[in-house]
Amino acid sequence: MIETMWIWGTIGLILLAVEMVTTTFYVMWFGVAAIILAVLTWLMPEMSVAIQLFLFAILSIGSLFIWRTYYKKTSTDSRVGQAQGEEIGRVGVIIEPVSPTQNGRIQFTQGLMGSREWVAVCNKPIEPGTQAVVVAVEGNSLRVKAH
């Protein structure tokens, strides 16, 4: 018959493999608990199945709870393909007039997030040739204000 240690070790490795496929960080803690239980059953082979299942539940839920308590997501918005705030404060030149009712265009001497020209939006009118500073990124456009 297969030793209990090998059963828990196999379960742990399978759960860790599932975690590598799903990348959710939830299944990992159950796999880690199973690996720990494999070590415990190797050290104490006479441990009853009821105690093993109880320890597995406590280790799994406890480690998951500890991870969720200390894990903090750094940002709630998705900024795929965008610099992380480095564009704020950059100064460019308005090349098409911008006003609250009309989007304009702003041009930079060096590319900003892959392009030298961007759609500009603003709450106050800005004429072409005026320098403007980026105050926010709104979708595919830049919110600017006169510099």
The DSSP secondary structure of 14-75, one letter per residue, reads HHHHHHHHH--SSHHHHHHHHHHHHHHHHH-TT--HHHHHHHHHHHHHHHHHHHHHH---S-
> Are the C-beta atoms of 88 and 103 separated by less than 8 Å?
no
Query: What's the pLDDT band for 115 if we cut at 50, 70, 90?
Result: confident
- Which of the two residues, 56 and 74, has the higher pLDDT score? 56
Q: What is the CATH number of domain 91-146?
A: 2.40.50.140
- Which of the two residues, 80 and 103, has the higher pLDDT score? 103
Domain ranges of the chain: 4-70, 91-146
Query: What's the pLDDT band for 78 if we cut at 50, 70, 90?
Result: low
For residue 87, what are the contacts with CB-CB under 8 A and spacing of at least 6? 112, 113, 134, 137, 142
Query: What's the pLDDT band for 112 if we cut at 50, 70, 90?
Result: low
CA atoms within 13 A on the CB side of 114: 4
The pLDDT of residue 70 is 85
Whether pTM exceeds 0.85: no
129's enclosing H/E stretch is none
Residue 8, classed as helix, strand or coil, is helix
Query: What's the pLDDT band for 58 if we cut at 50, 70, 90?
Result: very high
The pLDDT of residue 1 is 59
Which candidate, 103, 101, 92, 94, places its Cα nearest to that of 127?
94
pLDDT above 80 (res 76):
no
pLDDT above 70 (res 73):
no
